[in-house]
A and B are shown apart, each in its own frame.
Chain A
Amino acid sequence: AQSVTQPDIHITVSEGASLELRCNYSYGATPYLFWYVQSPGQGLQLLLKYFSGDTLVQGIKGFEAEFKRSQSSFNLRKPSVHWSDAAEYFCAVCGTSGTYKYIFGTGTRLKVLA
């Protein structure tokens, strides 16, 4: 079955520290991959996406993610976290044919300590 796993439900980091949020997927073929951020009570904002090509993708707000086919992973990173990065982060995949529905992970809630 198609699924997305975000192993860390909560992560706490200090402001200025580096961050890595994990995402693993199970899919029949290499899907398209996305990271979204959601602030409390807000909608979904796209951080970055991977379709093909360079496996290291750059996104908004200083985020990047690396696609590793051998590990079925698409981990999100940021070298220096800001207090405003506190939010919930969702990894999502979609197929490369059909209806292109998104399958989301369960999310990782990020807390940033001042």
Chain B
Amino acid sequence: EPEVTQTPSHQVTQMGQEVILRCVPISNHLYFYWYRQILGQKVEFLVSFYNNEISEKSEIFDDQFSVERPDGSNFTLKIRSTKLEDSAMYFCASSDWTSGASYEQYFGPGTRLTVT
């Protein structure tokens, strides 16, 4: 069964450093998402991406965040200058865009980002 993959599974970085979290969505999916979950809290929407542009972003997704689909398979989340409060689990998700199936998102296993 196709699945969303994410790398790395765990990333440790120092405050102020740039990090790139990588995701490979399911191959025929066209909608892509990033969510984050701070330890012990709920999962929060960050951004959605469709047709090579951001379709919606939350207030969390400020100028230090960016997303990109650099090729036909990868979907990346970049945090330019990490802060301690960026420490969280980041989930990538993708969804199909055919005949009403677009609302079901398939989640990757997550990348745990630790900022020290």
Chain A interfacial positions (CB closer than 8 Å to B): 32, 36, 41-44, 46, 49, 51, 90, 92, 94, 96, 98-107
Contact = CB atoms under 8 A, between A and B. Distances in A.
B56 A43 contact: no
A74 B95 CA distance: 22
A96 B112 CA distance: 30
Given A99-B55, A100-B31, A101-B48, A43 B91 contact: yes
A43 B110 CA distance: 6
Nearest to A104: B43
Contacts of A94: 103, 105
Given A99-B48, A100-B102, A100-B105, A107 B42 contact: yes
Contacts of B18: none
13 contacts: A42-B109, A43-B91, A44-B107, A49-B104, A94-B105, A96-B103, A99-B48, A100-B48, A100-B95, A100-B102, A100-B105, A104-B42, A106-B42
